[in-house]
Structures are given as C-alpha cells and as structure tokens.
Amino acid sequence: MSDLPSSISYMTQATRNGNQERESFHKFFECWIVEQDHHLHELVSASKDIEDRHQHHGGATAELNGRVLRPLLERVVQHYEHYYRAKSRWAKNDVLSMFNPSWRSSLEDAFLWIGGWRPSMAFHLLYSKSGLQLEARAIDDLILGLTNGDLSDLSTGQLGRVDALQKVTLREEKEITEKLAKLQETVADSSMVELSHAVSELIQEEAGDRVAEQEGRVEAALAPKEEGLVGVLEKADELRMKTLKGVIDILSPTQGVHFLIAAAELHLRVHDWGKKRDARHHQADSGGGVNGSNGHHRQ
C-alpha cells in the first residue's frame, strides 16, 4: 500500500479548495468504503496465512506477527482514524449533515447512534464472532486448552479486560447520550419559544420585512445548538475510536485480524443491504407513481 489512498487525496483536495459542503464528505465516504473493502481483502488473506502456518508450524510466528500482522492492524486502525479526522473537519462546517448523513442508507441511518456506530456494539461484535469461532471447535480441544489463536481463545485475562472496557464504554456512552438529551431539550428553551412566538406573530401580521429582520436573532439562537452538536459528535466519535483501539489492544494480532474482518464485513454488508433496500423502495415509489418520494430516500 505505497500509493496514497484516494480518500486522503480527496480530503486534501477538498480542504484545499474550501469545498466543504455535504456532497464532498459523501464522496470522501465512498472512497473510504472502497478502501475498507481493500483492507478487508488484505485481512482475509492474512488470516489464511495464519491458518496455514497454524497447520504447519502450530501458530502464528513472531516473525509473521512483527512483519505482517502488526503493520496491517496498524494500517487498518489508522484508516479508521483517518475517517474520523476527516469527519471532524467536515462536521465543523456542516454538523447537521453528519446527523443526517446522505452517504448512509436508511437502514444504517435507523441504527446509528449520534452519527455513527454505537460503541457498545463492538463488544457484541466481539462476543458474536468469538462465539461462532468457539462453536466451530471441538469441545475436547477447548477442554484440553489447545489453542488455535482465533477469538475462541479469549483468555481469562483478555475476557476480564474486555469486560472492564465494556463497562467503561457503556458508562461513557450513557453520559454522551445524556449530553445529547440535554442539548435536544434546549430546542424548547425560553429563547427559542420566545423567538418562535415573535416570528409567528409577525408572519400572522404579514409583516414580511420584519420577519427578515429577525433572521439575525434566529441565527444567534441556533448557533450554540449547532456548536453543542459538534461537541457531542466529537465525543461520540472519540469514544468509537477509543473503543475500537481498546479492543484491538486487548487482542493478540491474530485475534485482531479476525475482529477487524468481522467489523469490516458487517459494516460493508449492512451498507450494501441498506442501499439495495433504498433502491427497491425508490423504484416502487416512482414506478407506482403514488406520492413520489417522502424525502427519506437516498441515492
């Protein structure tokens, strides 16, 4: 991977041109997801190498860990970091689009938590994948303590650390949710209620020019709310990244590869499925000619 990832070039170019609108992050996302697919291929092929070595040499060797697996894990994790860096830059200019992302399907949208994946989901992903790998093994091997290096081999120490990380993550996730709740409630604070009343009266009086005069006040009232959203989004994205890195840190390189494969597969497939559903609904709507779009369909 010596060539510059296209999402990076796109980000530099977009920032250089001051091209900050919603459309540009959409394009960045599409580049990024293609790169994620490349990484998935690399991860899968690494996991096959590991399996080969396991059969012939009884496990991933230090050499394989150092030369291949660790750099690969690092690269994939950096790719996530790169995503959140770009997202944070765009969010500062158009935070609302991050909460209503046009680059996501409605399916993904419905399951988002503050503009992204729910951090505590990482543990469900880990337990599900680990469970599937555990079930694929013979109970005798497990009882004898034979290891094959995948997620079924989570040790006592690892499970303890995962559990501790999960508790911290859940707590922080709840705190951020609470922050968002407080912010959302300020939509009905007295300044907003007063302002909406004032403007409504003007509209009733058909005093159009004076409605326009209020625009400044409207902007002033909404600005801190948007700033609040930027702050909450930043915290949410930080927690996502912290959780991902935290899990990878607990896992061995081989397990890390398995975990990142599961994460990428889930992300990419849910995205595909969502897009297909959207396309189907879109077709049905336009084909039937009834009521066109309800405004929630994505391209």
Q: Which listed residue (1, 96, 132, 220) binds another protein by CB under 8 A?
A: 132
Interface map 35-74 toward another protein (x if CB under 8 A): ----------------------xxxxxxxxx---------
Residue closer to another protein by CB (options 8, 236) is 236
Of residues 237 through 266, those in contact with another protein by CB under 8 A are 252-254
Residue closer to another protein by CB (options 138, 290) is 138
Closest among 44, 101, 78, 34 to 272, alpha carbons compared:
34
Total binding residues for another protein by CB under 8 A?
48
CB atoms within 10 A of CB 113: 17
- Look up residue 296 and give its DSSP letter: -
Tokens (6 digits) for 92 = 């500062």
Asked whether position 152 contacts another protein by CB under 8 A, the answer is: yes
Residue closer to another protein by CB (options 64, 233) is 64
Q: Which listed residue (115, 149, 246, 274) binds another protein by CB under 8 A?
A: 149
Residue closer to another protein by CB (options 242, 297) is 242
Q: Kindly report the CA angle at 82 between 81 and 86, in degrees rounded to 5? A: 115
Asked whether position 140 contacts another protein by CB under 8 A, the answer is: yes
SS (H, E, C) 134-194: HHCCCHHHHHHCCCCCCHHHCCHHHHHHHHHHHHHHHHHHHHHHHHHHHHHHHHHCHHHHH
Residue closer to another protein by CB (options 24, 166) is 166
d(CA 245, CA 247): 5
Smallest gap from residue 270 Cβ to another protein (A): 19
Interface map 156-175 toward another protein (x if CB under 8 A): xxxxxxxxx-xx--x-----
Asked whether position 207 contacts another protein by CB under 8 A, the answer is: no
Closest among 129, 126, 125, 123 to 166, alpha carbons compared:
123
Closest among 175, 177, 130 to 151, alpha carbons compared:
130
Interaction site with another protein (CB under 8 A): 57-65, 120, 123-124, 127, 130-132, 134-136, 138-140, 142-147, 149, 152-164, 166-167, 170, 252-254
